[in-house]
Chain A
Amino acid sequence: MTRPRLRIVTGKGGVGKTTVATALALAEAGRGQRTLLAEINGRDRVASVLGIPPVGASICQAGERLSVVDMNPRAAIHEYALMVFRFEAIVHAVFDNRVVRRFLALIPSLGELVMLGKVWFHIQEVQDDRPRFDVVVLDAPSTGHAMSMLRAPAMVQHAIPPGPLRDITRDIIALISDPERTHLHVVTTPEEMPVTEAVELECAAAEVLQMKLGFSVINCRLGPLSAAALEKLEASSDPEVRQVVATLRQRETRRLQGEEQLRRLPAHMLEAAVGLPRLLDALPGRAGVKRLAELLLPALEREEQP
């Protein structure tokens, strides 16, 4: 099996997409892939996870074989225009005009489309006779926005007459619907609403988006505690230890409810999912994300088995 060129990470807001996307990128870079981690309107989320200075709209180095970029629609449109017209003066005169900027901001899906176009561009970009990046990890918006972003090319394809914009959409659609090249990774936590959105995404991946679902990630998954051990502690003469047990029993209740929610995931999705522990620090830092990356590595290796 060939390694995918694009990994799109999405899920409900607040489940830890950025942390997971960063860990995936570190895992890829760690196994020798030249990796680009792309976030969208990130406001330094990746930078604070990694503990590096703020990342802007131009690609910068964040580690060995790891580059990061924080895309935004305006910069992406400017960049696209520059590619089409090749002259900064023209692009500046036309696209940095306030009226035009507003005009472009209103063209439906243009921002999303052009950002996907940027991802596509970097995937086929060649430097020194080889691809500049082996893989791009896209920290996509949360479920609803990600869906409209991934549907943008097909929508534009249907809604607009032939022209250069439609040509780009064709290439993007070919890339994201190619199961060899693009995997969609759904991140969830063991909670009802995140699981519901994961189920919706799984459904949409096949029916609406026509994308291949890569392994999913269950973030903040708790491990079971031995019931015998809790019983033994309950018999302790230390009253505080008995209170510890009460707290742990609540944790077990929460865990079991979470696992029950997870069983709503399609069996194939749950089986292939990678569980990650909750990191205790407010910001995982590079060391924390590295730990998660190590836990993701076996899943990357499993992908290559036929």
Chain B
Amino acid sequence: MTGPFADRKVVVAVGTGGVGKTTVSAALAIAAAASGRRTLVMTIDPARRLAHALGVADHGNVEREIEPERLRAAGIVLQAPLWVMAPDVKRTFDEIVARAPLSEEKRQQVFNNRIYQHFSSALAGSHEYAAVQKLYEVYKSGRYDLIVLDTPPAQNAADFLDAPGRVLDFLENETLQWLLRPYVGNGLPFKVLDIGSSFFWRTLGGMAGGDTLRELAEFILSFRGMYDGFRERSRQVSELLASDALAFVLVTTTSLMQQRAMWHFKEELRAQGLAVRAVIVNRVRAMPAWDQQAAGRAGALLSRLDPEVAAEVERAAREEWVLAEADLRAVRELEARLGGVPVTLIHERPTDVHDLFGLANVASTFL
């Protein structure tokens, strides 16, 4: 695999739902392993058949090697091992808690907290948080030449980029700590606390119910012993995201909505000082070898037999031509507007990519 990723250690694939990010990430990883780099692909929430094909259907959070024989059968010879992992949010959090320097009692308190149990995977940003935590862990292990990270589908790149900071910022926020004290006690008589604090809680409590807030406060405060670890980790992750070892790649299609989303992502990344190294356009229709007028001639040939059928055939042919031409135009515009950023096109396949054969076929685009 040459081009924009040759000197990178981490490739992060960003895009909205439905662009085929998982497929593209897996194909990129196959291509990298085929060209001799020890590669791990981290895929989030793959479709079931793809998960089966990759062998991560029931084993979250651990790296598994894809047997080279299976890919050889699909026509790809790996020059280095290929691994795959599906980060699991709850297990990642459990691992963090298990490793944290907490007393056994505190640790159990976290595990037993109702909010933690029900919602650690529903917390805003927790998927992204778990993904980057895992990414950092495997990156530091030094076991891989390349890690391809397939990010959770997002409307905003910031959802992903800010996640480590957001979770941390929230957990260690001093104002919040202070506000939470009346809920869990701090040895001080309640009255000593400021009026502002009780006003705050009366208002919020009126909205959510006081007990809900108490449980949430317990949950947040039980993380207190883990802040230093969290803070240090978050700093390291941010460093990695901004470093030259890592490249962002945008995955999109020719659809106008997806193109818009892509420009939005690109702009967001730029605002954070992060550059996009490549754009991959998935499912591009190939331009027919015939001229549009041929559709009219085909219709004319049939019109004496059955004008209705003739119209239908002509319309279908024109549709194929117009759609392919629109794709061509979209790609040209994209390339012009991107300036020097390399664009890779993946042409539409007659069937969905759902097995190693399909993935190997897409991977050949990158080889």
Contact = CB atoms under 8 A, between A and B. Distances in A.
A247 interface: yes
A222 B320 CA distance: 11
B62 interface: no
B313 A155 contact: no
> Chain B: interface secondary structure?
helix
Interface stretch (A209-217, A238-246, A292-300): A238-246
B203 interface: yes
B291 to A, nearest CB: 7
B317 A247 contact: yes
A130 B202 CA distance: 35
A107 B208 contact: yes
A99 B312 contact: no
A243 B305 CA distance: 21
Interface in A157-180: 158-166
B29 interface: no
Given A108-B123, A233-B301, A251 B316 contact: yes
B209 A99 contact: no
A102 B253 contact: no
A148 interface: yes
Contacts of B297: 238, 240-241
Interface string B279-307: 00000000011110011011001100110
Contacts of B310: 229
B19 interface: yes
B238 interface: no
A43 B263 CA distance: 13
Interface string A223-248: 10110011011001010110111011
B290 A106 contact: no
A98 B124 CA distance: 16
Contact of B312 (A84, A108, A166, A223): A223
Given A14-B255, A226-B309, A163 B316 contact: no
A159 B114 contact: yes
Contacts of A278: 319, 323
- Interface centre among B49, B301, B312, by most chain A C-beta atoms within 10 angstroms, is B301
A244 B315 CA distance: 12
B194 interface: no
A121 interface: no
Interface in B256-286: 256-258, 260, 264
Contacts of B306: 226, 229
Contacts of A99: 173, 175-176, 179
B365 interface: no
B18 A13 contact: yes
A6 B295 CA distance: 44
B174 to A, nearest CB: 9
Interface of B: 16-19, 45, 47-49, 114-115, 118-119, 122-124, 153, 155, 166, 169-170, 173, 175-176, 179, 199-200, 203-204, 206-212, 215-216, 253, 255-258, 260, 264, 288-291, 294-295, 297-298, 301-302, 305-306, 309-310, 312-313, 316-317, 319-323, 326, 330, 350-352, 354
Interface pairs A-B: 3 shortest CB-CB? A163-B209, A14-B18, A13-B17
7 contacts: A109-B119, A160-B209, A226-B309, A226-B313, A229-B309, A240-B294, A278-B319
